């Protein structure tokens, strides 16, 4: 399955933040939306970074910092790994495990068109496997295409 198909089922809404937002604002967004990552976009809507719960943990490990006084710009990851709608789920999972990241912004024609997490990919892969299993079982039992 391609990422575009996965996003058609899951939805293409992406929770975003701005580089000038404070880390506290971003943490509140992560918590209130119950998500693990925010795409950081500039005033033109261009994807310029990503900020995830791992970044929050890293900041927590430093000596006490007031999250209300530090900006996302200085603590987001700017060197982005992205996918596109034509990429397959297998390709996305491979790059995510290789890069040790759990979130992949989907960018088409330089526009942010979605975000997939490792959880989304695992869930969709399981559904694919269940479907294939059912097809094969029906085939073996002579119920094809059942």
Ranges within 35-54 binding ligand AMP (CB under 6 A): 36-37, 50, 52-54
102 binds ligand AMP (CB under 6 A): yes
Size of the site for ligand AMP (CB under 6 A): 15
CB of 92 to ligand AMP, least distance (A): 10
Q: Which of 19, 55, 85, 116 binds ligand AMP (CB under 6 A)?
A: 55
81 binds ligand AMP (CB under 6 A): yes
CB of 53 to ligand AMP, least distance (A): 6
Nearer to ligand AMP, 21 or 55 (CB): 55
CB of 68 to ligand AMP, least distance (A): 20
Half-sphere exposure of 95 (CA within 13 A, CB side): 16
Q: φ and ψ at 124, to 5 degrees?
A: -65, -35
71 binds ligand AMP (CB under 6 A): no
Three-state DSSP at 126 gives helix
DSSP 54-110: HHHHHHHTSSP--GGGSBGGGTSB-S---B-TTSBHHHHHHHHHHHT-SEEEEEETT
How many CB atoms are closer than 10 A to CB 109?
7
Is 3 within 8 Å of 84 (Cβ atoms)? Answer: yes
Binding site for ligand AMP (CB under 6 A): 36-37, 50, 52-55, 77, 80-81, 101-105
């Amino acid at each position: 399955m391609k990422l575009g198909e996965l996003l058609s089922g899951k939805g293409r809404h992406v929770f975003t933040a701005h580089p000038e937002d404070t880390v506290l604002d971003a943490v509140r967004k992560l918590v209130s939306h119950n998500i693990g990552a925010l795409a950081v976009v500039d005033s033109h809507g261009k994807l310029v970074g990503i900020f995830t719960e791992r970044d929050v943990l890293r900041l927590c490990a430093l000596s006490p910092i007031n999250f209300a006084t530090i900006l996302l710009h200085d603590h987001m990851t700017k060197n982005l790994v992205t996918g596109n709608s034509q990429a397959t789920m297998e390709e996305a999972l491979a790059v995510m495990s290789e890069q040790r990241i759990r979130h992949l912004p989907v960018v088409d024609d330089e526009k942010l068109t979605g975000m997939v997490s490792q959880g989304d990919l695992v869930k969709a892969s399981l559904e694919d496997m269940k479907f294939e299993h059912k097809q094969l079982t029906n085939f073996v039992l002579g119920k094809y295409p059942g």
